[in-house]
Structure 1
Amino acid sequence: MKIHGPNHTKVNAYQKQVHKQSPERIKEQSKADQLQISDQAKKMQETQQVQPQREARVEAIKQRVESGKYQIDAGKIAAKMLRFWNK
């Protein structure tokens, strides 16, 4: 038994789309992502120096984390998160 309907020629509509892709477009899709940093951003990174007070604080936190004495106040963090998201 054969079935011939009005849409018989459109059985594989997606096959046409596969053949429509040009080789140029396929090449574009295979390119890797690139990152470019502007000259102004590079200058900003070079001129910004870490403040001694901040560096000392970061070092103190590192030492507490490594020794296992670093405590986190979960309530304080939750309150700040709520304040941020409720803005």
Structure 2
Amino acid sequence: MENLKINETNRIGGTNPYQKQSEFRADTAKKARQKDEVQISAAAKEMLTTSKLSHAERAERINELKQSVASGTYHVEAGKIAEKLLPYLNTNRSE
């Protein structure tokens, strides 16, 4: 039987499972330290500050809608609903 000799144990292709495990732990620690960040565009900020209705007018409109729904007098035009749904249905049908 021949004697086998292993040379160059530190070569590039060699594997060290302990080193890989410590690298994995280091990567996991880096990911844990990362924080989520949200940025609101200038256009979105402007939309938040400018509104068609003031807060009082909006609250009044909401109360009117609630009362009409509760009394059964709230009416929705089917044509307007269809107009708004049609683009949505057309884009989802092609998928």
TM-score category, normalised to shorter length: 0.3 to 0.5
TM norm structure 1: 0.39
